Chains A and B, each alone.
Chain A
Amino acid sequence: MHKVHRAYLIIIGVLSFLGFADSAYLTADHYFKLPLPCSITQGCETVLTSPYAMIGFLPVAALGVAYYLAILFITVHHYTSEASEKKLAWAVFFISGAGVLASLYFLYLQAFVIHAFCQYCLGSAATSLLTFIVSGFFLRSFASLIPEDVKNGS
């Protein structure tokens, strides 16, 4: 594997690990903490205890954990495989793209519906956006570094 690819994979791995730690914290907060009082100085608790913090019976944070773990596992698998695989890079690109769309929706909810921002949720939006951007560059690098991949398509 090209060392540039290794660098991309490490960056994506670190980002998804950060995102994982962030949403794992929010999930633990959801399950183990009492609902903190609603406060005039709004913020995280307002967002996390709003009806939008749940999708069905699952907290959004738990979905975040699954999302970041999926990216992390794909990335580690990719890193430990012998060659660069464009389809794995595409997988991360699509998953993080979906994450960016979800983040945009949650940003909209925070700004216009809940009227409160949760810094951990903003952090997660940032990590998924960065992951998406880095995975875009990663995909592009296949064209310049391994032309045969492009020739074969994948």
Chain B
Amino acid sequence: MAMKNKRSKSSSKVTAWFVVGFLVLGTVGTIVAGVTSSGAPSGAASPAFTSTTTSDITASDWSQGNKNAKVSVIEYGDFQCPACGAYYPTVKKLIADYGDRVLFVFRNFPLYQVHQDAGISAQAVEAAGLQGKYWEMFDTVYEKQAIWSGASADIVVKQYFDGYASSIGLDVAKFDKDIDSNQVKNKITADVTSANAAQVDHTPTFFVNLKQISNPANYDEFKTVLDAALKAS
């Protein structure tokens, strides 16, 4: 009797562990299956373009590539947005790979209410632009996003951006003055106005030939969209 009791106890012990293990593994399996299937590319059949369009590219826009290219890419971005930082290498590779077949434009859409340094980082990159080094600063600020992002807005210039400015060969005193200049602030305001007009509500938002695309999941998806645009032009 006692032995039987002991045996049934140990078997209920095994059952309890088995049930919990099953629940744990089942949960892991369900979650992984759910997350990977929802995160998978939605397929080439889904329309890349949405119905939103943005304003024409003008001389005041910062651009890379060929101004006469048949295909343009406009990115609305926020230098402190981690997703923009994650897209940065993809965009850089596209610019390099497409060379003069594509014109790439960056416009500011700082998410002031979410990222404390969104405004000041945009101002820093614009200020570098006034000394002809917009893209050098653009690269540096994105590449070092994880480093300066934690700093509060009142110290981030002194602590980080001044050093970046000096490392790319800027006149730091002029850079510091330009950061707070109306010229820089007006450019950002103009970008934000155009973003609002184009109903941009997240960063990065990409426009190919002025039409908004849904964010590509990876380099290849982006390439598919650009190749199609090039073919159609």
Q: Determine whether the beta carbon of B215 is less than 8 Å from that of A37.
A: yes
**A40 partner, pick from B13, B202, B204, beta carbons under 8 A:** B202
> Which of these binds chain A: B31-39, B60-68, B176-184?
B31-39
A116 within 8 A of B: yes
| A53 CA to B149 CA, complexed, in Å | 13
- Chain A residue nearest to B41 (CB atoms) is A34
Band of interface residues on B: 35 or more
- B residues whose Cβ falls under 8 Å from a Cβ of A: 9, 12-13, 16-17, 20, 23-24, 27-28, 31-32, 34-36, 39, 78, 81-84, 86, 111, 113-116, 146, 149-150, 201-205, 215, 217-218
What are 28 residue pairs bridging A and B, where the CB atoms are less than 8 Å apart in the complex?
A: A17-B20, A17-B23, A20-B24, A20-B27, A21-B31, A24-B28, A25-B35, A28-B31, A28-B32, A29-B35, A32-B32, A32-B39, A33-B39, A34-B86, A35-B83, A37-B81, A37-B202, A40-B111, A40-B113, A41-B201, A42-B111, A42-B113, A49-B82, A50-B82, A72-B20, A80-B16, A82-B9, A115-B116
Question: Separation in Å of the B188 CB from the closest CB of chain A?
Answer: 16
Q: Are A45 and B83 in contact (CB under 8 A)?
A: yes
A79 — which chain B residues lie within 8 A by C-beta?
Answer: 16
Number of A interface residues in the complex (CB < 8 A): 32
* Closest Cβ–Cβ distance, residue B163 to chain A (whole Å): 19
A39 with B31, Cβ < 8 A, contacts A17-B23, A46-B114, A72-B24 known: no
* Residue numbers in B under 8 Å from A115 (CB-CB): 113-114, 116
Contact residues in A for B218 (Cβ distance below 8 Å):
34
A51 touches B150 (CB 8 A): yes
Q: Which residues from chain A contact B78 at a C-beta distance below 8 Å? A: 38
- Complex: how many Å from CA A121 to CA B81? 20
- Contacting residue for B20 out of A29, A46, A76, CB 8 A: A76
Q: In the assembled complex, how far is the CB of residue B108 from the closest CB belonging to chain A, in whole angstroms?
A: 13
- Docked complex Cα distance between A79 and B16 (Å): 9
Q: Which of A28, A29, A37, A50 contacts B203 (CB 8 A)?
A: A37
Cα of A28 to Cα of B63 in the assembled complex, Å: 37
> Given A29-B35, A49-B83, A50-B82 in contact, is the A38-B114 Cβ separation under 8 Å?
yes
Indicate which residue in B12, B83, B114 contacts A116 across the interface (CB closer than 8 Å): B114
